Chains A and B, each alone.
Chain A
Amino acid sequence: MSIARKCVPFTPFEGELSRSTIAIVTAGGVHLNDQEPFNIADELGDLTYRIIPEDVDSSRLKVTHHHYDHADADKDINVVFPIDVLRDLQSQGFIKGIAKKHVGYMGYTMQLKAMYEGTAREIANEIDKGSRADAVILTGG
């Protein structure tokens, strides 16, 4: 999937939330505690991302990111990655489902072109293929 460069890449949402499956994509450096941490030693940033499965136990998530204070996310990951909140909304019938894949990456890079033309497209493709998401919640740090 390519991403519009000059205009706002707006995709209308024509469904109903109560019939929709939602994915989370966060730039907040969220990953599973047994996945490789983001490389905060490289001053150019880290262009990689991590797939987070739908059935993740939120206590297994952590943050590796050195450009914001994530002490609150260390206590409750939902402040930047609201997976348990999304589950609450599902149990209330506000949304239909939780997507099969969610994505965490470190939203700091000096390699903007590579992020824009590489990582962003790869993340969009991950969500587009196999996540079954109808819409995406984006969060930063």
Chain B
Amino acid sequence: MKGIPTVLITVSPEVSAQMRPPRALYPRGFKIGNSLGGPGMRELQAQVLREALTILGENTRPGQIITREYPAYGEYHEPPRVRN
């Protein structure tokens, strides 16, 4: 069996962590429905996508969710929390 490398872009890192994604990028403060940024923000979308793809080749720990800041987004939305 040969797997396929994946990288997740998540705006709900706690929720995503429960599903044990192999690698993930959390663009900090992006709202649900804006995984890559806001509509029409093509430069920001490209930056997020480039950085997510770059994570594929980095020496990440399986299951790691990497948080990055993107000030160009201009908003902060609290991500959903998992209730214990």
Tell which of A11, A127, A128 has the most Cβ of chain B within 10 Å.
A11
Cβ contacts A to B, 24 pairs, < 8 Å: A1-B1, A1-B3, A8-B20, A10-B22, A10-B23, A10-B62, A11-B3, A11-B22, A17-B56, A28-B35, A76-B38, A78-B36, A94-B53, A95-B53, A124-B4, A135-B7, A136-B6, A137-B49, A137-B53, A138-B6, A140-B8, A140-B9, A140-B11, A141-B32
A127, closest chain B residue (CB): B4
User: A94 and B50: CB pair below 8 A?
Assistant: yes
**A11 partner residues in chain B, CB cutoff 8 A:** 2-6, 22
Task: Please give the residue numbers on chain A whose beta carbons come within 8 Å of chain B beta carbons, in ascending order.
Answer: 1-2, 7-13, 15-17, 22, 25, 28, 68-73, 75-76, 78-80, 82, 84-86, 88-89, 94-95, 124, 127-128, 133-141
User: B33 and A70: CB pair below 8 A?
Assistant: yes
A11–B6 CA distance with the chains assembled, in angstroms: 8
The total of chain B residues at the interface (CB under 8 A) is 38
Q: Which 10 A-B pairs have the closest CB atoms?
A: A11-B3, A76-B39, A10-B62, A13-B5, A8-B62, A13-B56, A75-B39, A138-B8, A8-B63, A10-B22
B35, closest chain A residue (CB): A139
A75–B20 CA distance with the chains assembled, in angstroms: 31
Cβ < 8 Å to A, chain B residues 1-27 = 1-12, 16, 20-23
A135–B1 CA distance with the chains assembled, in angstroms: 16
**A79 partner residues in chain B, CB cutoff 8 A:** 33-39, 45
Contact partner of B49 among A75, A89, A124, CB < 8 A?
A89
**B50 partner residues in chain A, CB cutoff 8 A:** 89, 94
A82–B34 CA distance with the chains assembled, in angstroms: 11
B56, closest chain A residue (CB): A13
A69–B57 CA distance with the chains assembled, in angstroms: 32
Q: Say how far A73's CB is from chain B's closest CB, in angstroms.
A: 6
A74, closest chain B residue (CB): B39
